[in-house]
């Protein structure tokens, strides 16, 4: 429960409300996180928040990377932390995307808005071991062009023959030549092999439901669809109960959960 001090090594502004922080340990380092896990980050004098890992899992220098969207006092303080700032780190916590279990299969990854942040380590991990997987498809959606995170990397992936990339916006602006509409539109157009496809989805809950249901309609089993869920995580270890979703405590049983389990829970409005 005690945070470990880390120093902000670099800060990159990703969008009007998001920035990527690279943190390095002041002393002893925490365990290297895996794609899908999260950390509890402490802004001293402000508070603590659960932030997903967004860095490259192949980096082994002891640093950890988070992309923080400002939605409240704690996340705003973390988003605005300049290089040299000390923050507290606990973790890593939670479940992973399960990249190893998806070896030998097609991978379909769907990100809505800042949902690309928790998915980015999975994309980078799959590209680093590209021979382990069959077809790799990434669909990324945002409200507008200005809302995309990792814009430069998206441009790089668009030119990479190892990955099929679809980028779509809800509201096009002059000069936009990409796709327009929700992420479910390119998803429905995909030709998939239902028996050999694993899907990872991260974004707003309506997007998760509609995206996962579109995949189920294509014959993909709900157990082969993994979604990253978000609730109010305050302890990270299943003690406080703030992140409860039905029988789940998402800091312990999530955030990445199979849609066979998550789907029925997401349809209950009270949850």
Annotated binding site for [2Fe-2S] cluster, which residues?
235, 240, 243, 251
Q: From CA 144, how far away is CA 141, in angstroms rounded?
A: 9
Q: From CA 251, how far away is CA 32, in angstroms rounded?
A: 17
Q: From CA 13, how far away is CA 2, in angstroms rounded?
A: 29
Q: CB-based burial of residue 41 (10 Å sphere; 0-12 exposed, 13-18 middle, 19+ buried)? A: buried
Binding residues: 235, 240, 243, 251
Instruction: Using CA atoms of 256, 259, 261, 267 in order, give the dihedral in degrees to the nearest 10.
Output: 110
Q: CB-based burial of residue 172 (10 Å sphere; 0-12 exposed, 13-18 middle, 19+ buried)? A: middle
| Sequence-ordered list of residues with C-beta below 8 angstroms from that of 67, at least 6 positions apart, any chain | 14, 18, 19, 20, 21, 52, 54, 114, 117, 120, 149, 150
Q: From CA 227, how far away is CA 67, in angstroms rounded?
A: 19
Terminal-residue alpha carbon distance, the chain: 27
């Amino acid at each position: 429960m005690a945070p470990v001090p880390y120093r902000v090594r670099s800060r990159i502004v990703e969008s009007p409300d998001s920035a990527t922080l690279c943190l390095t340990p002041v002393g002893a380092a925490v365990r290297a996180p895996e794609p899908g896990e999260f950390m509890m980050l402490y802004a001293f004098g402000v508070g603590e928040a659960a932030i997903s890992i967004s860095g490259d899992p192949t980096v082994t220098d002891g640093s950890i990377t988070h992309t923080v969207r400002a939605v409240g006092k704690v996340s705003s303080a973390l988003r605005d932390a300049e290089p040299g700032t000390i923050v507290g780190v606990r973790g890593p916590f939670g479940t992973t995307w399960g990249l190893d279990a998806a070896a030998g299969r097609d991978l379909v990854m769907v990100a809505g808005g800042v949902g690309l942040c928790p998915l980015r380590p999975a994309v980078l991990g799959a590209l680093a071991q590209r021979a382990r997987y069959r077809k790799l498809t990434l669909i990324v959606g945002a409200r507008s062009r200005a809302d995309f995170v990792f814009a430069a990397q998206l441009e790089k992936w668009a030119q990479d023959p190892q990955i099929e990339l679809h980028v779509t916006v809800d509201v096009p602006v002059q000069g936009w030549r990409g796709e327009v509409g929700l992420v479910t539109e390119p998803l429905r157009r995909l030709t998939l092999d239902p028996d050999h496809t694993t899907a990872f989805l991260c974004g707003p809950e309506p997007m998760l439901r509609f995206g996962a249901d579109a995949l189920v309609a294509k014959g993909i089993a709900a157990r082969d669809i993994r979604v990253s869920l978000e609730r109010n995580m305050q302890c990270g270890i299943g003690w406080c109960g703030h992140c409860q979703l039905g029988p789940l405590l998402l800091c312990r049983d999530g955030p990445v959960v199979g849609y066979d389990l998550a789907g029925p829970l997401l349809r209950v409005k009270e949850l």
